[in-house]
Amino acid sequence: MKLAWRRSVLCAMGTTVVYLLGVASADGQAGQEQKPLMAEDAFKSVQLLRGITVSQFMATMGFFSAALNANCTFCHGMESGGSWARYADDTPRKQTARRMILMMATINQTNFAGRRVVTCYTCHRGSERPKVTPSLAEVYGTPVLEEPEEILEQAPGAPSAEQVLDKYIQALGGAQRVGSLTSLVAKGTYQGYDDPEKRSVELFAKAPGQRTTIVHTPGGDSTSVYDGRSGWVTAPETVTPVPVIPLTGGDLDGAKVDADLCFPAGIKKTLSEWRVGFPTTIDDRHVQVVQGTSAWGSPVKLYFDATSGLLLRQVRYTNVPVGRVPTQIDYADYRDVSGVKIPFRWTVTWVDGRATTELGEVKPNVPIDAAKFAKPAPPAPVRAAKP
């Protein structure tokens, strides 16, 4: 059972993992008042991945899932599918995973001065076992256009980032109208990658940079909150063994970027170190790629339609102890709301899941109770109705 609540995170690794993997901490926790919940405090059988937060630990599990194209029960056993307690059981595949982590750390330490060059995905590439024989179909087939991991420098002849961003603001309705947008309250539907049903969702956003989403399910609400400084994720006990998880590092970083993009008038200040890469295409549409750096040093790429100027995609990369995790958000169905174009549909894709949100009703510039952005309470358990 994959954990659909989990979002990609930028990892601040503890000393044990830094020693094992030879990777320096990428975020630091300066300015964060809340104490993060650590993996070894929440889970019984953690041995190597100690000194990282629960959300960082879950992101690492997602990286394993993507690297091997497997779900959680592949390593934890089929019995774990209906019992969080059984996830603590030691299994042969969990023991193998620990050996693989140490092997990867040794390769990087011995051959690359501790730099993380080799990861699980380097060899597995979505397969349970690394291949030893070249595939002629892949050698002579149509090459897959792969997403570059980062833009190193401003592409020659490309417009400046400021020009691309100014065109985006103009496409949304102009600086004056975009700047007048101060709050949003919306309702719609949310559909997870493994859920055949669409669930109702509520969105609350307030400038500058506050955002809450609540997905209502029969098993209880799943909530994501960013109050402008701190953030939390909650989910029913059927989805996660930890009901309220404080956002730290890259989790917090990503929540801030998403909240800021609700009010794009200040987009130039959301990221720094702007640069523009070579043009590419998305679904046969020519796009201009702009990259910035988030507050914690995570690269974020924004893909703008070369014709309309609208934002089509966001891709951000975050570090976990065993590799780099991408999160992709595709925006579509822009509609006019009080003179400002707003995407009514977006699809979030991460290493072990995909979810689509579609809005049906959007109210701009309405009062929002501050309690909507407060730390959420743990979801109340949903009891089965009596026969």
Residue range 20-34, pLDDT digits in tens: 333 333 343 333 455
Q: What is the pLDDT of residue 6?
A: 35
Q: Which residues are bridge partners to 325 per DSSP?
A: 318
Alpha helices in the chain (DSSP H): 15-21, 39-42, 54-68, 73-76, 92-111, 120-124, 136-140, 161-172, 175-179, 249-261, 267-270
The whole-angstrom separation of Cα 178 and Cα 372 is 23
**Global pTM?**
0.83
Q: Is the model's pLDDT at 2 over the cut of 80?
A: no
- Do residues 257 and 323 share a domain? yes
Q: Are residues 254 and 169 in the same domain?
A: yes
Phi, psi of 312 (to 5 degrees): -100, -30
Collapsed DSSP state (helix, strand, coil) of residue 205: strand
In this prediction, residues 207-231 reach a mean pLDDT of 93
Q: Flag whether 207 is in a domain.
A: yes
The 10 Å CB-count burial string (b at 16+, else e) for 279-304 is eeeeeeeebbbbbbebebebbbbbbb
Q: pLDDT tens for residues 94-104?
A: 999 999 999 99
The domain of 321 spans: 161-373
Mark whether 179 and 293 lie in a shared domain.
Answer: yes
Residues 37 and 124 in one domain: yes
Kindly state whether residue 378 falls inside one of the protein's structural domains: no
Domain presence at residue 5: no
Give the integer Cα–Cα distance in Å for 118 and 129: 16
Extract the tokens encoding 67.
């690297």
Regarding whether 272 and 166 lie in a shared domain, the answer is yes
Lowest-confidence pick of 47-51, 182-186, 210-214: 47-51
Same domain for 195 and 125: no
Same domain, 170 and 120: no
Whether the Cβ atoms of residue 161 and residue 290 lie closer than 8 Å to each other: yes
pLDDT at 383: 55
Residue pair 104/119 in contact by the 8 Å Cβ criterion? yes
Q: Does 10 fall in a domain? A: no
Q: Please check whether residues 118 and 203 belong to one and the same domain.
A: no
Final residue of a domain: which of 116, 132, 148? Answer: 132
152 falls within a domain: no
Confidence of residue 290 (pLDDT cuts 50, 70, 90): very high
Question: How far from chain centre, in Å, is Cα 27?
Answer: 15
* Domain contains 296: yes
ω into 381 cis (within 30 of 0): no
CATH classification at residue 338: 2.50.20.10
Of the residues 78, 112, 132, the one at which a domain ends: 132
Query: Quick one: tokens of 98?
Result: 């620990």
Domain count, the chain: 2
Q: Are 283 and 207 part of one and the same domain? A: yes
Query: What distance in Å separates the CA atoms of residue 169 and residue 263, rounded to the nearest whole number?
Result: 10
Residues 103 and 211 in one domain: no
Question: Per-residue pLDDT for 332 more than 80?
Answer: yes
What's the rounded mean pLDDT across residues 216-224? 90
Tell me whether residue 214 is in a domain. yes
Pick the last residue of a domain from 132, 153, 188: 132
Residues 107 and 194 placed together within one structural domain of the fold: no
Task: Kindly report which listed range (105-114, 248-257, 280-289, 361-370) carries the lowest average pLDDT score.
Answer: 248-257
Residue 9 belongs to some domain of the structure: no
Do residues 110 and 172 share a domain?
no
